[in-house]
Amino acid sequence: MEETRQMAIPLLQLINNSQIDENIRVSASLYFKNYIKRSWEQTDNTEDIISPEDRVTIKQEIINLMINQPKSMQLQIGEAVSIIADNDFPSLWPNLIKDLVSHFSPTDVQTNNGILQTAHMVFNRYRSEFRSDMLFTEIKYVLSGFAEPYYQVFLATTQLITKCTDQRSLFETLDSVKYLLIVFYDLNCQDLPEFFEDRMEEFMKIMHTFLLYNDLSSISNIPNLPISDDDDTAGILEEIKAEVLRIVHLYTSRYEDEFKQLPIFLETIWNMLTTLGLEPKYDGIVIQGLKFLTAMVKNPRYKQTFLGNEMIDTICQKIVLRNIELSTSDEELFEDDPIMYVRRELEGYEADSRRNASSELVRGMLEHYGTETTQAMLRFIMLKLEDYSKNPSSNWKSKDDAVFMVSSISTMASVKSLGVTQTNNLVDLNEFYQFHMLPHLVNLNSDLPILKSDAIKYIYVFRNQLSDSNIESSVPLLIEHISHPSAVVSTFASLTLERLFVLRKNNVLIFNEAKVLPYAQQIFDKTFSQLISQPTPEKLAENDFYAKLIMRVIISTRSKISSIAQPILTQLCGILEKVCKNPSNPIFNHYLFESIGSLSRYTCIADPSALPAIESTLFPLFQLILESEISDFMPYVFQILSQLLLMHNNETKLTPAYAALLQPLLQPALWDYQGNIPALVKLLTSYFSTSGTELAENGQLSPVLGIFQKLIGSKANDHYAFELLNSIVLYVPLNSLKQYLKAIFMLILNRLQVKKTPKYVRLVTKFVGFFSSIDSRSVLSAISNNNISNLAGEYVSALVGVLNEIQPQLLSSLLSGVLVSSIDGSIRNPVDIKYVAVGYTCIISNPNFYEFPEFKVLFTSILTQVIKLIEESTTKVSKISEDSTETTGVDPFSSSSQQGLDGPDINEAQEIFQSSFSKLSTLEGQVIDPCSSVSDPRVFIGSVVKFQVSHGNANFNDGISLLAQNEKGFVDMYFRSVS
């Protein structure tokens, strides 16, 4: 249905039809928003589903349509406006601001709210954008049309408050004030606009007034106004105050010189921080207030304001200490939603909470008052520990506070994946661990679980600072706590172990294979026990930290795990079978398949004879997944099958299981799901890598080329088409392939003609290089045997022949019109650079090339581009010496080790899964190299030049002579690099 290019307008008409049931219209507005999200952006990788005419109509009508809809639909349509604006505004939607402000009203706050919410959705990205001339130009454009109408609405709305006669109008007006403040922040977050600077006093006077209101009755004289007794939820007044403080924090941090009203705000906010209660409804105010105060104490200009032990003590006691206490909601979360509790704890300072904001304040104080702050906090820490020691069972919160304060004053710098990287030298972290944390780990009872989790988290946070002996001795204790009845304690033990197993000191793993192996079985037993004890598949998959620990132990022990691999694999399959019933947690699923894939890989490396047993364990479950069409798991299955199939590369024929699987893999329906395509292409590549000749002999090339035809027609999948084609042309004998070459190139050229994109041109350029570079073997053989008659490689000859069959001199036209100019820096992968350079060198070395009328011009331009590709590639720093082949720096053509799987994290630096496809990092990637006999394209070019020159090839010599002086220098360098 969404493939039709006229779908959007009927959707808008349905939304706007007041005769239709509102529930249907709400559903339509939600669908419209998601449709726009999926379909509006136009890139090289997406199909253009919405017609140009509909795009214009949507932008002309959508603002007016949104304003006239109920609130339940305004939000959805507003989000659609935001999505369109992200792509089109301002260049392709210059009227957006004009359309928005034309609906502003001095009295209709409900309409204004819709406009302001939409404006925020459009402007919100300014908060996170990098500063650039383009961004400032856009903001200036927005301000030119939006600022004055916004200002008038701001004044009118704040004046309307006193004129409200009922509760409903008052709350709608206060809502409008909140949205006005939110948009104010959006427009001021990058730089202080002159418009707002000129009116700062008036804006700030109004904002400060809102901070002084205690409750709604102090705002309005409307009788019987509700006095909120809900201590858990912030009311509209608390929300407004929090937004005001957010703005004050911004102005204090960024525009201090212009912010003349700062002193009065400082006094007001100080009073709020020292008097507001601990009720959750005030959290937003307190958090923003703490951020403001942090900005103040970090500013050297105000150093004298906070200097002195008395002031430091006051801040620590009256502000920091009262806001770091573990809240009732934290305790409830610990018991009721342990995984959420753990995730929030791991977010650390990124999470908005009183505790974290207080910790940031302490860290801010440490910048200028390090000794004073540390000493003051240590005194309060000792008081908390003394209070705990008087009655541990009752006063355990005091120790929890103390541990949190130690972390706050100790952490000077941290990286999420690495832990704390810089600490306060005035705090002895190892001593605190020995005396105050270790006892909770040695005692294996289930008392005081929050303090146990604190102790384990302490190891997690300060793993880089604790001594090797403390770290190594903690591992058996952590393993025991995997079985702890508290899910938080068990989870923290698991995730901390996982991090310890990738911990490095002096770039050496503390826990190598030999050190992890003795613990492996015990970790597996305890972790699997926790998983299988869960009552439902959903609960089992909830804790992805268990799955990650299993994966990490497998990776850490590598091939040494082969002795216990089979029972581990059986247990993993048992868990997979359970979660097949409801694949609810994609992160858990990902680590589960990483575990299965890595265990299979390492076991077969250690013992190739184990492959049949592994396949017999996995295949029934994989068959279930494929037959049941569990879409979340199918891409993982295809990836693991691809890896297993590659392990059969020494066999002469496909095994019956893989032979039987091939035909179902070619069914069109399987390729309709986008998530399957990358993995299916990898699997088919493995088929050709191991059995290309067999597939050709069995007549299975035609259906595979049908898949190629389907993929090449899609901008989203054309790169997969060429990935598949590369494996076909490399692993299928050319004699078997020749009958299909014309059809293949007709498909390639047709797409180039009707749907040309920069990405596609690059793909074609690379493929021509890939195909031609297969001749490198015969070229090197001819050079080795000093036989110039064999220099005409069969692949370049076939390329010239098939293109001539389509159109005479077609390769010459393609080279001059399309391909040569695309041999450029957009080709970045070292293997790609190598085969492109080698392939196009093979073309200009082939005798058929010299039959082109313009071969001299082509020769010069091709070799020039090839040299530039090699020498200007961003990854290359090496240079061939005049007298030797010694290189310095990083050379993309030398063999270099990739970061191991024991690096900082698998998939933590980026999102580990996408909605449709997730690559398994633990599987060994197959590098398809058509010129594997060439280690360095510079040496290959040098060898060809030397051979041609020695045989007096006049055409080749003429081409070299036409090169620019710079390129001649490189050719000479390549020439002299050949021994």
pLDDT (tens digit per residue) in 293-323? 999 999 999 888 888 889 999 999 999 999 9
How many CB atoms within 10 Å of residue 900?
10
CA distance 59 to 685: 45
Residue 269 pLDDT > 60, yes or no?
Answer: yes
Which positions ≥6 away from 810 have C-beta within 8 Å? 803, 804
Instruction: Please indicate whether residue 810 or residue 788 has the higher confidence score (pLDDT).
Output: 810
CA distance 956 to 842: 12
Note whether residue 417 is domain-resident: no
Residue 901 pLDDT > 80, yes or no?
Answer: no
Could you say which of 756, 787, 811 is where a domain stops?
Answer: 756
Q: Per-residue confidence at 909, pLDDT binned at 50, 70, 90? A: very low
Say whether 505 sits in a helix, a strand or coil.
Answer: strand
Phi and psi of 145, rounded to 5°? -110, -20
- Considering the domain architecture, whether residues 806 and 727 belong to the same structural domain is answered as no
- Considering the domain architecture, whether residues 875 and 813 belong to the same structural domain is answered as yes
- Considering the domain architecture, whether residues 710 and 848 belong to the same structural domain is answered as no
Could you say which of 756, 788, 823 is where a domain stops?
Answer: 756
Q: Which of 597, 594, 604, 479 is nearest to 548 (CA)?
A: 594
- pTM to 2 decimals? 0.89
Q: Per-residue confidence at 905, pLDDT binned at 50, 70, 90? A: low
Residue 5 pLDDT > 50, yes or no?
Answer: yes
Note whether residue 343 is domain-resident: no
Structure tokens at 969: 């220098």
- Considering the domain architecture, whether residues 867 and 738 belong to the same structural domain is answered as no
Note whether residue 215 is domain-resident: no
Helix residue ranges, H only, 299-353: 303-306, 309-314, 321-323, 328-336, 338-347
Note whether residue 707 is domain-resident: yes
CA distance 25 to 33: 12
- Considering the domain architecture, whether residues 676 and 711 belong to the same structural domain is answered as yes
For residue 349, the model assigns a pLDDT of: 59
Task: Check if the beta carbon of residue 549 is closer than 8 Å to that of residue 492.
Answer: no
Note whether residue 129 is domain-resident: no
- Considering the domain architecture, whether residues 813 and 945 belong to the same structural domain is answered as yes
Say whether 411 sits in a helix, a strand or coil.
Answer: strand
For residue 34, the model assigns a pLDDT of: 94
Note whether residue 922 is domain-resident: no
* Summary mean pLDDT of the chain: 92
Residue 602 pLDDT > 60, yes or no?
Answer: yes
- Whether the upstream peptide bond of residue 904 has omega within 30° of 0, thus cis, is no
Report the pLDDT averaged over residues 206-231.
83
Say whether 642 sits in a helix, a strand or coil.
Answer: helix
pLDDT (tens digit per residue) in 143-176? 999 999 999 999 999 999 988 988 899 999 999 9
Q: Which helix (H) or strand (E) holds 504?
A: strand 504-505
| Terminal Cα-to-Cα distance of the chain (whole angstroms) | 64
* Distances, alpha carbon 134 to alpha carbons 142, 144, 262, 415, in Å: 12, 15, 31, 31
Residue 938 pLDDT > 70, yes or no?
Answer: yes
Domain that holds residue 841: 775-894+935-979
Residue 733 pLDDT > 70, yes or no?
Answer: yes
Task: Check if the beta carbon of residue 859 is closer than 8 Å to that of residue 959.
Answer: yes
- Considering the domain architecture, whether residues 723 and 841 belong to the same structural domain is answered as no
Which positions ≥6 away from 529 have C-beta within 8 Å? 483
- Considering the domain architecture, whether residues 856 and 956 belong to the same structural domain is answered as yes
For residue 895, the model assigns a pLDDT of: 42
- Considering the domain architecture, whether residues 793 and 839 belong to the same structural domain is answered as yes
* Distances, alpha carbon 382 to alpha carbons 389, 434, 465, 476, in Å: 10, 16, 22, 30
Report the pLDDT averaged over residues 504-522.
95
Note whether residue 557 is domain-resident: no
CA distance 323 to 361: 11
Instruction: Please indicate whether residue 459 or residue 951 has the higher confidence score (pLDDT).
Output: 459
Report the pLDDT averaged over residues 594-604.
97
Could you say which of 756, 791, 815 is where a domain stops?
Answer: 756
Residue 588 pLDDT > 50, yes or no?
Answer: yes
CA distance 544 to 540: 9
Task: Check if the beta carbon of residue 779 is closer than 8 Å to that of residue 938.
Answer: no
pLDDT (tens digit per residue) in 824-866? 989 999 999 999 999 999 999 999 999 998 899 999 999 999 9
- Considering the domain architecture, whether residues 747 and 785 belong to the same structural domain is answered as no
For residue 165, the model assigns a pLDDT of: 87
- Considering the domain architecture, whether residues 820 and 969 belong to the same structural domain is answered as yes
Report strand pairing: 508-509 vs 504-505.
antiparallel
For residue 893, the model assigns a pLDDT of: 60
pLDDT (tens digit per residue) in 690-732? 999 999 999 999 999 999 999 999 999 999 999 999 999 999 9
Report the pLDDT averaged over residues 531-558.
96
Q: What percentage of the chain reaches a pLDDT higher than 70? A: 94
Q: Per-residue confidence at 47, pLDDT binned at 50, 70, 90? A: confident
Note whether residue 944 is domain-resident: yes
CA distance 936 to 7: 53
Report the pLDDT averaged over residues 891-917.
49
Report the pLDDT averaged over residues 42-65.
87
- Considering the domain architecture, whether residues 942 and 869 belong to the same structural domain is answered as yes
Report the pLDDT averaged over residues 112-116.
95
For residue 878, the model assigns a pLDDT of: 42
Instruction: Say how many domains are in the chain.
Output: 2
CA angle (418, 421, 423) in 5-degree steps: 145
Which positions ≥6 away from 767 have C-beta within 8 Å? 722, 725, 726, 748
Residue 374 pLDDT > 80, yes or no?
Answer: yes
pLDDT (tens digit per residue) in 619-635? 999 999 999 999 999 99
Q: What percentage of the chain reaches a pLDDT higher than 90? A: 81
